[in-house]
Amino acid sequence: MVNIETTNPATEQPLASYSAMTDSQIDAAVNRAELAYREWATWTIDRRATVIAAAAQLLRQEIEELALLITREMGKPLAESRAEVTKCALGLDYYAENASRLLADTVYETAADRSWVSYEPLGVVLAVMPWNFPLWQVFRFAGPALMAGNAAVLKHSPNTTGAALAAERIIEAAGAPAGLLTALIVAENDVADVTARLIDDDRIAAVTLTGSERAGAAVGSCAGRSIKKSVLELGGADPFIVLADADIDTVVQHAVKARFLNAGQSCISPKRFIVDKRVADDFLAGMQRGVSALTVGDPEDPATDIGPMARRDLRDLVAGQVAETLSAGAHLIAGGKPVPDRNGWFFQPTLIADVRPGSPAYEEEIFGPVAAVLTFDSDVEAVRIANATRFGLGASVWGADLDKATHIGRQVVSGACFINAPVASDVRIPFGGAKRSGFGRELADAGIREFVNARTWWTNQQTVIGTGR
C-alpha cells in the first residue's frame, strides 16, 4: 500500500498520511461519479442552485478551519488563505444565482417556426488541479461545471490532498448526490499513467487542467487522441508594462503586492516588469524599498507577508533560475537566495534588474518570490519584450494616457489585459490564456459553457415538404 504524506512547508514536519487508491478503487470512484451525474443531470437548475449555494455557506462557516488547512499544506499566510476561501464562496454564489441566465436557450431566427441552441451537460469531467490555490482552483471549475449538470472527478496535487478531500466533503454535505465531486488519491509516481487512463475511459467526457506547460501538453495530447474536450490553463510570464506617465508610487504598491502574493506562486502574477527608462530609476528604488519591507516568516503569524514556498524542489528550482539569470549578466538588487538558518522552504523576496535576453527571468516563468525588471526606450521595444516569451496568460499596462496604454496592450498577446490594475481572476468575467498558456476559458458565461453540448434545435409546427438537400 502506497501512502501519500503531506508536509508543512514552514516547519518541514509531517501533517497527514493518506492511502493512495488502487486501480479498482479508482474505477469504483469513477462509477460513483457517473451514477451521481445521471441523477444530478435530471435535476432542475434551481434545485442544483440550492446545493451550490449551501456549499458556499458551508465554506463560510468553516473558513477558519479551511484556511488553516490551506496554510499548513502549502504555506501561504493565513490572511491569504481566508481570502481564498471567501472567494470560493463568492464564486459558488455567483453560479447559483446566475446559471439559469447563463444557460438559457439562445434563440435564432431561421426558416424554422422556432430554432434555438440549448446547453446540456457532457457527463463526468476529469479535473487536474494544482496546489497553489488548492480550494479556489477546484471551486472555480466545479461551480460552473456542476451547475451545468456535470459531475467531476478531481485529481489534485498530492501535497494538498487534505484540501481535495475537504472540497469533496463540502459538496456532498451541501446535498449533492454522493460522488458528484469525487477526489482521487493518486501517488505521485502514478499520476501520469492514471490521468492518461482516465482520459481514455469512456465514462470520462472531458478534462480540464490548471498546471504546468509540461502537464498541459501531456493532458492535451491524451485528450486529443481520445477526441475529448479539454480546457488548459497553464503557466505565464506576465508582462507588467510601466509607461513614463504612470504614477510610480501607486504602481510600485500594486507591483509589490501582485508579485509577492502567495510567495509569487501564481500563474497570473506579474513576472517581468518592463519599465520606460525615463522612470526606471524611480520604479526600481520604490521596488527595492517595498521588497525590503516584506516580512518573511511563519505563515500562521499575522505579521507575516510571505510564507514558505510549497515544496523544497520548487524552492530549489527558483534558486537555480535566479542564479542562471545573474550569471547571464543581470544585477541583484535584493534577496536572491533561500532564507538561511531556519527550517522550512523559504526563499528571500528577490529583485533583479538589467535582465538579459535568453536568461530564465527574461523568457521563462519563475514561480516564486522574484521580480525581474527590464527597461525600454520606445513603445515598440516594450511590446517586443512583452511578447518575447512562449506564454500569453495575462498582461497589464500602467499609464495616465488610457488610450495609449490600451493601444500598447492590444499589441501584447495575452488572454487578459488589465489597464492600471494587476491581472486577477473574477468570476464575472472570462479567464484563460493564449499561446502556450493554454486554451479555453473559465468563469462567467464562457466558463459555464465550456463543458456543455451546445445542441441545435429546429422545429416546425407541421412537416414541410420540399426537395431537401
Could you give the residue ranges of the DSSP H alpha helices within 121-209?
Answer: 136-147, 161-173, 191-200
329: left (phi over 0), alpha (psi -120 to 50) or beta: left
Query: What DSSP letter does each residue of 49-103 carry, written as one string?
Result: HHHHHHHHHHHHHTHHHHHHHHHHHH---HHHHHHHHHHHHHHHHHHHHHHHHHT
Residue 154 CB-density burial (10 A; 0-12 exposed, 13-18 middle, 19+ buried): buried
- Residue 229 pairs with which residues in a beta bridge? 206
Residue 26 Cα distances to 158, 169, 194, 204, angstroms = 15, 17, 9, 13
Q: Which of 369, 408, 385 is nearest to 255 (CA)?
A: 369
**Element at 361 (helix H, strand E):** helix 360-363
3-state DSSP assignment of residue 233: strand
Q: Give residues with Cβ within 8 angstroms of 60, minimum separation 6.
A: 85, 86, 89
3-state DSSP assignment of residue 127: strand
- To 5 degrees, how large is the angle CA 45–CA 171–CA 99? 25
C-alpha cell at 182: 469525487
| Residue 336 one-letter amino acid | G
Could you give the residue ranges of the DSSP H alpha helices within 274-416?
Answer: 280-292, 312-327, 360-363, 379-386, 402-411
Kindly state the greatest CA–CA separation across the chain. Answer: 85
Q: Which residue in the list 267, 364, 365, 450 is annotated as catalytic?
A: 267
318 contacts 366 by C-beta, under 8 angstroms: yes
For the chain, what's the residue count?
A: 469
C-alpha 419/C-alpha 333 separation (Å) is: 27
| Residue 146 one-letter amino acid | L
C-alpha 207/C-alpha 123 separation (Å) is: 11
233 is catalytic: yes
C-alpha 239/C-alpha 418 separation (Å) is: 11
Q: Which residue in the list 233, 364, 365, 450 is annotated as catalytic?
A: 233
C-alpha 191/C-alpha 155 separation (Å) is: 8
Residue 2 CB-density burial (10 A; 0-12 exposed, 13-18 middle, 19+ buried): middle
Catalytic residues: 233, 267
